[in-house]
Amino acid sequence: MPTPMQALLSIAAIRASEIPATARTMARFSLFDWLVVARAGSNEPVAGIVRDYALSEAGTPSASMFGTSTKLPARNAALANGTISHALDYDDTHFAHVGHPSVAIMPAAIAIAEREDLPAAAIADAFLLGAEASCRIGMALGRQHYEKGFHQTATAGAFGATLAAGYLLELGPERMQAALSLVSTRASGLKSQFGTMGKPFNAGIAASNGVEAAELARRGFVSCDDGVAGIQGFIETHSDQPGGPEVWTNPPPDHFVFEDIKYKFHACCHGTHAMIEALLTSLRSHAIRPDDVAALELRVNPRWLRVCDIKSPRTGLEVKFSYAFLAAMVFHAIDTSNDTTYQDKLATDPRLLAFAKKVRVTGDAAIGDMDTQGTLSTVDGTQKAIQHDLSRRLPDHVIETGLRKKAAALLGQPSADRIWSAISDLDHLTARNIAALMNG
């Protein structure tokens, strides 16, 4: 059985010709989705702040940033783009990893690929390998790492960003090991930032840390032998209940756990999506008015209670993390898929406040992360069971349709079609062609 470090180095050594078409398709879906949500989030307040900060620092202009034509050093661009792309919290999620791979890894990959003038396809391949590493490390850290308060998008994501950047820089095994060990002392991110600008900043930190560690390792920077799983390494110091050796079995290229990635079609915490889909399915078959509802009992995996069960949200951003308010939005036909919906006034809407009081959410360890079950009770005494499981894999054409519809809603049809056309022609474009889509 290989050590975690050996497994990570094996992932980094995978050649483009060895990557299966199914995994590459999902990686390109993620590149499309990342460009869309980042473009859509580039006018958010947090985007303006981090962009202003990044522009205030001098350096070699080599990588693009959302929201400006001015180019930045790769590390600074990764910091800004990681933050901006997670501003809407509308990016992809990997539930076994317990994190958002794209926002932590894609900014590092595109910054290096643009600077080095690499083929566009290299972005998706580097991202895929980095995301696979991030997912495996997230699984190795285990659920307890997340429950303790760490944001795995940032912690595990930093290792994925490092591997992606190092892959594009063609670091050999020795230098890649140094980079992965070095980033162990930089990886960070706390869930206490959820609901604030600090959450997207966590993604930016991960991307920036990845570029920094890879760049330093390329220059001969010396780190410990194994900062990942060695003595006092990241896994040992950051998880009391790490995953077992099975995390590293059935490795790529034969099997990519990344292929279980899920895309958001609602602009809120992914933990609430199963509930939203369950309610929408119920309402499509039975027309139920908000006043007809006596009670809504929801059962979810207990971990979500500390993530997206804000009882009394104060802002539109916090509404995205509130089962009760999102359920109320569904029953009042308020669009959950459009990010512009989530204004602060939702938190004081009397209709939503009244409905939210009818919602009760409890944890059930027997329910999976991607599943929601419950009972909808009406004032006439009728009870209806509701359930939806996001783990069921959707066909590629359904994912494509959903992503393109989402892109059109966020950016308008012309921009959505232009980005989709570029991703469809990725093998004939350069990374700089893709970077140009960040602002046009």
179-205, pLDDT tens digit by residue? 999 999 999 999 999 889 999 999 999
What is the average per-residue pLDDT within 390-416? 93
> Which amino acid is located at 407 in the chain?
A
User: In the predicted model, is pLDDT for residue 393 greater than 90?
Assistant: no
Q: How far apart are CA 5 and CA 11, in angstroms?
A: 10
Q: Are 98 and 301 within 8 A, CB to CB?
A: no
pLDDT tens-place string over residues 59-108: 999 999 999 999 999 999 999 999 999 998 899 999 899 899 999 999 99
Q: Are 28 and 427 within 8 A, CB to CB?
A: no
Domain ranges of the chain: 4-262+396-436, 270-389
Q: Are 128 and 258 within 8 A, CB to CB?
A: yes
pLDDT for residue 361: 98
User: In the predicted model, is pLDDT for residue 317 greater than 90?
Assistant: no
Residues 6+ apart with CB under 8 A from 256: 20, 22, 23, 26, 128, 132
pLDDT for residue 223: 97
Residues 6+ apart with CB under 8 A from 381: none
Stated pTM of the model: 0.88
Band (374; pLDDT cuts 50, 70, 90): very high
pLDDT for residue 344: 96
Domain at 270-389: CATH code: 3.30.1330.120
Q: What is the mean pLDDT of the chain?
A: 96
Q: Which two tokens stand for residue 98?
A: 């317990």
pLDDT for residue 339: 83
- Between the ranges 206-210, 270-274, 401-405, where is the mean pLDDT highest? 206-210
| Residues forming a β-bridge with 299 | 362, 373
Q: How far apart are CA 36 and CA 426, in angstroms?
A: 16
Q: Any idea what DSSP says for residue 395?
A: P
Q: Are 106 and 113 within 8 A, CB to CB?
A: no
Sign of CA dihedral 388, 391, 200, 48: negative
Neighbours of 244 (CB within 10 A): 10
Residue labelled with tokens 């077992």: 244
What is the average per-residue pLDDT within 419-426? 97
Q: How far apart are CA 39 and CA 269, in angstroms?
A: 19
pLDDT for residue 286: 86
- Alpha-carbon Rg of the chain, whole angstroms? 21
pLDDT for residue 123: 98
Sign of CA dihedral 45, 165, 76, 236: positive
pLDDT tens-place string over residues 106-128: 999 999 999 999 999 999 999 99
The SS3 call for residue 385 is strand
pLDDT for residue 191: 94
The SS3 call for residue 431 is helix
Percent of the chain with pLDDT over 70: 100
Q: Any idea what DSSP says for residue 172?
A: -
pLDDT for residue 337: 87
Please state which of the four CATH numbers 3.10.180.10, 1.10.10.10, 1.10.4100.10, 3.30.200.20 is assigned to the domain occupying 4-262+396-436.
1.10.4100.10
CA neighbours closer than 13 Å in the CB half-sphere of residue 78: 34
User: In the predicted model, is pLDDT for residue 287 greater than 90?
Assistant: no
What is the average per-residue pLDDT within 335-361? 95
pLDDT tens-place string over residues 230-283: 999 999 999 999 999 999 999 999 999 999 999 999 989 889 999 999 999 999
Q: How far apart are CA 401 and CA 407, in angstroms?
A: 10
What is the average per-residue pLDDT within 338-352? 94
What is the average per-residue pLDDT within 13-18? 97
Q: Which two tokens stand for residue 67?
A: 């929201």
Q: Are 80 and 54 within 8 A, CB to CB?
A: yes
